[in-house]
């Protein structure tokens, strides 16, 4: 099977979707990967794609759908499309304040995208097979569209190659870590505020790996809260992996891949008890009450004052995630599921003829 994969371009980091496409190649499948930009109108046909003569298209995220659909129509071949969720904070489904849009004044990250997602959902309906990232996000599609969603579930897998490459012996610092884009939904401002509530005698420094428009706000917030914060950029060339290993544990809100990365190094993660997060990670994570900064502070402080618990919780996370005890799929299962979904797209496409 010749698979044409589309995923959005990210010039800051190698995205999980790029690694997922490489996983398909690792397991012997003939794959060509193209990164899209924000093409919603004119698409320039790439001769490399037409010469490849794919059997099926895999649109790996919603922002690749416009290009993927153009190629489906041009080449007259099946399309398998994946969308994680309809973001409730951008589409009027839920109150944006429930997703971290509370303390950040002058926020520009969350424009109203109802019209955009109406267009994208119309495109999603034209795919021959569809998946979403979690069962508990199904409501976002159905509430937004007003109709039942016909789609399967495709969970994440992982790429341990860079984690193995940069594994080393590092002294543990009095430091915690977060890996995230600097946008409100990641609620880094909650973490900084929670740290400010911890007694300075045990308060750790805070290492941040990421990028985004909130960086100036976060710096000012940390200065005002007297939180010792360090920014490490996008964490390229092993920086991210070193910072994780030097940290006692991670605090991650609304971001799954960093939980996997921390668990690889036997580092526990503190997060909010968001149901979608718990669907994936189960009790491999130490949960605080969602959007309750005092609860978040208490969980961080619990680990700081019970450091003998950190090792065991980190080992538990590693065991659960890498021994198939969560809804994170190992590479083999991920590949089998994607190939099954691609075959469903082909079957549905053929049935329409």
Of 40, 120, 39, the closest CA to residue 83 belongs to 120
Q: Decide if pLDDT at 39 tops 90.
A: no
| Residues 14 and 146 both lie in one domain | yes
| Residues 300 and 347 both lie in one domain | no
| Residues 177 and 140 both lie in one domain | no
Of 290, 272, 19, the closest CA to residue 156 belongs to 19
Give residue-wise pLDDT tens across range 295-329.
Answer: 999 999 999 999 999 999 999 999 999 999 999 99
d(CA 299, CA 301): 5
Q: Decide if pLDDT at 102 tops 70.
A: yes
Which burial class, exposed, middle or buried, applies to 343 when counting CB atoms under 10 A from its CB (0-12, 13-18, 19+)? Answer: middle
Give residue-wise pLDDT tens across range 214-245.
Answer: 999 999 999 999 999 999 999 999 999 999 99
| pLDDT class of 201 with cuts at 50, 70, 90 | very high
| Residues 217 and 70 both lie in one domain | no
Residue 295: what pLDDT? 98
| Residues 118 and 262 both lie in one domain | no
CATH for 112: 3.40.50.2000
Question: What total of structural domains would you count in the chain?
Answer: 2
Residue 107: what pLDDT? 53
Work out the average pLDDT over 73-90: 95
Q: Domain span at residue 220?
A: 162-322
| Residues 38 and 112 both lie in one domain | yes
With a CB cutoff of 8 Å and minimum separation 6, the contacts of 43 are 66, 67, 70, 71
| Residues 259 and 343 both lie in one domain | no
Give residue-wise pLDDT tens across range 205-219.
Answer: 999 999 998 999 999
Residue 46: what pLDDT? 86
| Residues 285 and 169 both lie in one domain | yes
Residue 42: what pLDDT? 61
| Residues 284 and 220 both lie in one domain | yes
| Residues 87 and 102 both lie in one domain | yes
| pLDDT class of 26 with cuts at 50, 70, 90 | confident
| Residues 148 and 172 both lie in one domain | no
Work out the average pLDDT over 247-265: 97
């Amino acid at each position: 099977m010749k698979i044409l994969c589309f995923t959005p371009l990210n010039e800051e980091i190698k995205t999980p979707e790029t690694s997922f496409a490489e996983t398909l190649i690792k397991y012997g499948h003939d794959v060509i990967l193209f990164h899209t930009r924000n093409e919603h109108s004119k698409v320039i046909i790439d001769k490399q794609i037409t010469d490849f003569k794919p059997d099926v298209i895999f649109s790996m995220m919603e922002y690749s759908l416009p290009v993927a659909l153009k190629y489906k129509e041009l080449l007259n071949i099946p399309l398998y499309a994946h969308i994680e969720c309809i973001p409730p904070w951008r589409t009027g489904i839920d109150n944006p304040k429930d997703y971290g849009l509370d303390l950040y004044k002058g926020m520009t990250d969350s424009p109203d995208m109802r019209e955009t997602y109406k267009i994208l959902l119309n495109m999603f309906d034209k795919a021959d097979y569809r998946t979403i990232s979690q069962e508990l996000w199904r409501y976002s599609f159905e509430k937004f569209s007003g109709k039942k969603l016909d789609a399967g579930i495709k969970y994440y897998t992982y790429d341990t190659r860079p984690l193995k490459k940069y594994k080393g012996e590092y002294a543990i610092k009095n430091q915690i870590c977060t890996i995230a884009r600097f946008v409100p939904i990641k609620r880094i401002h909650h973490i900084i505020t929670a740290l400010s509530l911890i007694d300075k005698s045990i308060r750790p420094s805070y290492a941040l790996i990421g990028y985004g428009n909130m960086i100036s706000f976060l710096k000012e917030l940390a200065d005002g809260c007297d939180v010792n914060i360090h920014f490490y950029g996008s964490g390229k060339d092993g920086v991210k992996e070193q910072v994780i290993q030097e940290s006692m544990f991670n605090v991650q809100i609304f971001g799954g891949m960093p939980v996997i990365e921390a668990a690889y190094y036997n580092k526990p993660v503190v997060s909010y008890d968001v149901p979608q997060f718990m669907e994936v990670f189960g009790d491999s994570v130490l949960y605080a009450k969602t959007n309750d900064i005092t609860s978040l502070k208490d969980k961080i402080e619990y680990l700081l004052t019970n450091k003998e618990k950190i090792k065991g919780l980190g080992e538990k996370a590693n065991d659960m995630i890498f021994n198939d005890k969560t809804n994170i799929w190992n590479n083999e299962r991920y590949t089998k599921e994607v190939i099954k979904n691609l075959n469903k797209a082909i079957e549905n496409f053929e049935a329409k003829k």
